């Protein structure tokens, strides 16, 4: 058959920019999927999706004018039902054949197949392949129905009676197979043709008559002044942004923001990047404020110098390319000035009041109807932060003579004072004008205002950092004060929400509890904090009084589950992760070393046999119940059990010393020599001997083995 390339375009009013790329990919993807299902494409068909502010389109190569006919085999009924004793068709069979467009003459051609129970009649025929126009109509209907539309509009067609539901009013439909219009294809009250529209102001012709499916993109570019491809338009904007920064010189770089670049790509049809500037006096305002207002409100790209500092210049992506761009530049500069002036006003006004003076206002801000106000929340965070700081200092002081002294007491008092001040003031920027206007700046503005108030750097940094990590890959708090307050803040949220039964479900996690749990994990692990998880959770519960139920065990499971998921994302196998997490390690900071030790152990020749033996030992001990690990040497009778006991006596102390020093890899490798005596024990010794004393002694020997082998991880989880 004659393959031709296919082009389908829906021309609409301006689409929602944040959803454009997703809409374009979905529209094109479903079209291809549906045409493939109907046999209208080849094995080599390629899809190109187009999405611009006013169009969704798809170009598909090697599309057939009609699908090939295909054999269809349809099950009718058992032979005993369809044919009488003389082999003639029964009324039931004739009725079925009539429904299929056949008659009694088809009976001799019916196929008989034994389905395992009885002989069954099958009717075989050739189904006519779908014509492209019909197949495309079905595919187009499906693509429109399945579009992930954020919010559907309802509008009337030109007849004044018919209503249509779609993301935006549609005004044109193109459907070309090669250069031929697919007559009869319709969608949203439109009939397919070969004309579309280009740029509102800069198209050289209107309408643009598409000559063929393959000329679509080039004609839109040359005649319509539109780059139809989302990916090409995005790349062109990125190229122009960098070129403009290079023209400014001085090592300037446009701010990197993939989401902003995507949104601007969805707003323009033919980008033209221009350099603008604002008054330098605005640079006295924290750069985060200026950057946010330029990006969020105006969709501008701020320019940063070689050190990453904001400059007074910024880049605008215009949708028009006049010969003299001065009016466009001046217009954008005029528009941004009031926004920056507002930010400066908020910053100046906020600094007239100290953070301490704002604490009482938090009592008027509701946090959660079951957990009270932000003021109550602050008191809980202070309580939890003090407990964490005490635990941390105590752990650090063990074995550290410098901390276990009068100077250490002074250091502890200073730490507790800074932690308490930071926890008290961390939420106060929520009631400032700047954060009221830009909620994304919470924490950041608190840090600036703390510096303005003359607070110590540790306190200012902790206020700024206590929301960190805000997202995957975000930086952690810089100092111990910030780490303690950030841990307290996240634990307050986790313990509180779990305590009132407000748990994540499916994709819903309105209080970002998964992110908070990962934040706790990252701080404990990457900061190598000597803190026990159960103790942390237990220290948080009393802060809530009788407002919550104690769900520490359930929350611990949740955190271990997040930890396991994080480890798997880092490339560790499910078996390696399960082996470590099964022990519910209290010091999460040690988990990376434990799992690396397990990975190294798994490569040893002895590993499979020892893992299998551990699984066997685990099952034996589980059935035995409580087992005393004490071994009476006088009751050891068989050479194999004596050899195993001797091996344990020789190698376990060395492995334990390595474990205690934190060398988990060496500890497991030391224990790998137990493979031979363990194998011999199971080959030659009956554990469940009839004599009670002998049986208990052998179970004790296995308990001793189990305790020695499974300090780093539950090795039975490595058994295949």
Nearest partner of 705 among 640, 652, 628, judged by Cα: 652
Same domain? 477 vs 553: yes
Same domain? 39 vs 78: no
Pick from 107, 127, 147: which residue ends a domain?
127
Q: Alpha-carbon distance 449 to 458, whole Å?
A: 13
Q: Which residues contact 393 (CB under 8 A, 6 or more apart)?
A: 403, 411, 412, 415
| Residue 491 to residues 152, 379, 494, 546, 579, Cα–Cα distance (Å) | 40, 13, 5, 17, 26
Q: Alpha-carbon distance 357 to 353, whole Å?
A: 7
Contacts 24+ apart (CB under 8 A), 363-370: 365/430, 365/431, 368/496, 368/500, 370/500, 370/547
**374 within a domain of the structure (yes/no):** no
Q: Alpha-carbon distance 123 to 121, whole Å?
A: 7
Q: How many CA atoms lie within 13 A of 289 on its CB side?
A: 25
Same domain? 556 vs 676: no
Phi and psi torsions of 191, nearest 5°: -110, 135
**Residue-level pLDDT at 126:** 65
* Residue 238 belongs to domain spanning: 230-350
**495 within a domain of the structure (yes/no):** yes
Kind of pairing, strands 195-196 and 208-209?
Answer: antiparallel
Q: How many CA atoms lie within 13 A of 316 on its CB side?
A: 24
Same domain? 76 vs 62: no
Is residue 208 within 8 A of residue 196, CB to CB? The reply is yes
Pick from 127, 142, 168: which residue ends a domain?
127
Is residue 563 within 8 A of residue 590, CB to CB? The reply is no
Kind of pairing, strands 186-187 and 190-191?
Answer: antiparallel
Nearest partner of 512 among 540, 547, 483, 472, judged by Cα: 472
Residue 148, SS3? coil
Q: Alpha-carbon distance 577 to 33, whole Å?
A: 38
Below-70 pLDDT ranges, the chain: 1, 71, 126-127, 399-408
Same domain? 624 vs 536: no
> In 73-225, which ranges are continuous DSSP H helix?
79-82, 91-99, 132-145, 216-222
Neighbours of 639 (CB within 10 A): 12
Same domain? 204 vs 249: no
**577 within a domain of the structure (yes/no):** no
Tell me how many domains the chain contains: 5
Same domain? 61 vs 174: yes
Instruction: Output DSSP code: residue 68.
Output: P
Nearest partner of 708 among 663, 662, 670, 661, judged by Cα: 670
* Residue carrying the six token digits 């803040």: 489
* Residue carrying the six token digits 């902790």: 462
Q: Which residues does residue 173 pair with via DSSP β-bridges, in sequence order?
A: 10
Total residue count of the chain as it appears in this document: 720
SS (H, E, C) 198-232: CCCCCCCCCCEECCCHHHHHHHHHHCCCCCCCHHH
Tally helices (H) and strands (E) across the chain. 25, 20
Residue 279, SS3? coil
Nearest partner of 597 among 658, 664, 674, 671, judged by Cα: 664
Same domain? 38 vs 75: no
Same domain? 203 vs 266: no
**378 within a domain of the structure (yes/no):** no
Is residue 388 within 8 A of residue 531, CB to CB? The reply is yes
Same domain? 517 vs 469: yes
- The CATH number covering residue 657 comes to 1.10.730.10
Is residue 712 within 8 A of residue 598, CB to CB? The reply is yes
Pick from 571, 601, 630: which residue ends a domain?
571
**383 within a domain of the structure (yes/no):** no
| Residue 398 to residues 394, 558, 585, Cα–Cα distance (Å) | 6, 30, 20
Residue 163, SS3? strand
Q: Going edge to edge, which strands form the sheet with 111-114?
A: 70-78, 119-127, 111-114
**361 within a domain of the structure (yes/no):** no
Same domain? 140 vs 117: no
Is residue 63 within 8 A of residue 35, CB to CB? The reply is yes
Same domain? 82 vs 8: no
Residue 277, SS3? strand
Q: Terminal CA-to-CA distance of the chain, rounded, Å? A: 53
* Residue carrying the six token digits 């094995």: 43
Neighbours of 523 (CB within 10 A): 24
User: Helix 374-397 vs helix 406-425: angle between axes, to the nearest 10 degrees?
Assistant: 160
Q: Which residues contact 492 (CB under 8 A, 6 or more apart)?
A: 377, 380, 381, 384, 540, 543
Phi and psi torsions of 18, nearest 5°: -70, -15
Nearest partner of 55 among 103, 7, 102, 95, judged by Cα: 7
**393 within a domain of the structure (yes/no):** no
Q: Alpha-carbon distance 487 to 582, whole Å?
A: 24
> In 56-114, which ranges are continuous DSSP H helix?
79-82, 91-99
Instruction: Output DSSP code: residue 704.
Output: H
| Residue 552 to residues 98, 178, 386, 540, Cα–Cα distance (Å) | 69, 65, 19, 9
Longest dimension (CA), the chain: 111
Q: Alpha-carbon distance 496 to 491, whole Å?
A: 8
**48 within a domain of the structure (yes/no):** yes
């Amino acid at each position: 058959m004659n393959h031709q390339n296919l082009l389908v375009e829906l021309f609409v009013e301006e689409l929602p920019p944040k959803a454009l790329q997703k809409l374009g990919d979905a529209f094109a993807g479903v079209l291809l999927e549906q045409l493939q299902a109907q046999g209208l494409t080849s094995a080599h068909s390629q899809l190109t999706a187009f999405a611009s502010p006013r169009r969704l389109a798809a170009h598909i190569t090697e599309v057939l004018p009609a699908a090939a006919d295909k054999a269809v085999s349809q099950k009718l009924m058992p032979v005993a039902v369809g044919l009488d004793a003389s082999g003639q068709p029964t009324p039931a069979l004739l009725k079925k054949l009539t429904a299929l467009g056949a008659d009694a003459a088809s009976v001799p051609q019916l196929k008989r197949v034994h389905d395992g129970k009885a002989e069954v009649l099958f009717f075989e025929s050739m189904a006519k392949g779908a014509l492209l126009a019909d197949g495309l109509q079905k595919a187009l209907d499906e693509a429109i129905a399945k579009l992930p539309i954020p919010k559907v509009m309802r509008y009337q067609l030109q007849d004044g009676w018919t209503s249509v539901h779609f993301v935006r009013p549609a005004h044109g439909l193109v459907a070309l197979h090669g250069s031929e219009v697919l007559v009869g294809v319709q969608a949203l009250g439109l009939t397919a043709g070969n004309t579309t529209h280009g740029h509102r102001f800069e198209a050289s012709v209107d309408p643009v008559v598409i000559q063929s499916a393959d000329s679509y993109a080039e004609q839109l570019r040359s005649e319509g002044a539109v780059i139809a491809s989302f990916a090409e338009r995005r790349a062109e904007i990125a190229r122009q942004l960098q070129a403009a920064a290079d023209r400014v010189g001085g090592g300037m770089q446009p701010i990197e923001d993939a989401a902003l670049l995507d949104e601007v790509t969805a707003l323009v049809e033919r980008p033209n990047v221009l350099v603008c500037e604002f008054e330098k006096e605005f640079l006295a305002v924290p750069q985060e404020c200026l950057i946010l207002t330029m990006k969020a409100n105006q969709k501008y790209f701020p320019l940063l110098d070689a050190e990453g500092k904001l400059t007074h210049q910024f880049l605008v992506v215009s949708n028009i390319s006049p010969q003299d761009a001065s009016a466009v530049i001046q217009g954008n500069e005029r528009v941004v000035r009031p926004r920056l002036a507002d930010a400066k006003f908020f910053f100046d006004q906020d600094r007239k009041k100290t953070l301490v003076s704002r604490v009482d206002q938090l009592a008027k801000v509701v946090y959660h109807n079951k957990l009270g106000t932000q003021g109550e929340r602050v008191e809980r965070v202070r309580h939890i932060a003090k407990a964490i700081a005490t635990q941390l200092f105590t752990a650090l002081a063990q074995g550290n003579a410098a901390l276990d002294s009068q100077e250490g007491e002074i250091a502890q008092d200073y730490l507790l004072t800074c932690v308490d001040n930071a926890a008290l003031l961390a939420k106060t920027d929520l009631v400032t004008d700047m954060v009221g206007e830009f909620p994304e700046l919470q924490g950041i503005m608190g840090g600036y205002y703390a510096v303005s108030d003359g607070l110590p750097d540790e306190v200012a940094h902790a206020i700024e950092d206590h929301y960190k990590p805000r997202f995957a890959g975000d930086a952690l708090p810089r100092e111990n004060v910030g780490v303690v307050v950030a841990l307290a803040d996240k634990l307050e949220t986790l313990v509180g929400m779990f305590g009132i039964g407000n748990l994540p479900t499916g994709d819903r996690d309105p209080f970002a509890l998964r992110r908070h749990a990962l934040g706790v994990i990252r701080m404990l692990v990457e900061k190598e904090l000597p803190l026990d998880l159960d103790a942390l959770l237990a220290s948080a519960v009393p802060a809530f009084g009788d407002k919550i139920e104690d769900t520490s065990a359930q929350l611990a499971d949740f955190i271990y589950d997040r930890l396991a998921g994080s480890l798997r994302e880092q490339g560790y196998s499910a078996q390696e992760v399960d082996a470590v997490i099964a022990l519910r390690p209290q010091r999460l900071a040690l988990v990376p070393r434990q799992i690396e030790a397990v990975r190294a152990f798994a490569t040893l020749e002895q590993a499979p046999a020892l893992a299998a033996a551990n699984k066997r030992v685990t099952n034996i001990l589980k059935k035995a119940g409580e087992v005393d690990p004490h071994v009476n040497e006088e009751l050891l009778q068989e050479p194999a059990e004596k050899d195993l006991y001797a091996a344990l006596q020789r190698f376990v102390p060395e492995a334990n010393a390595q474990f205690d020093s934190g060398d988990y890899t060496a500890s497991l490798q030391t224990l790998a020599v137990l493979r031979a005596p363990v194998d011999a024990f199971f080959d030659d010794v009956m554990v469940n001997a009839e004599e009670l004393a002998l049986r208990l002694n052998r179970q004790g020997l296995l308990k001793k083995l189990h305790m020695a082998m499974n300090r780093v991880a539950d090795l039975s989880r490595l058994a295949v």
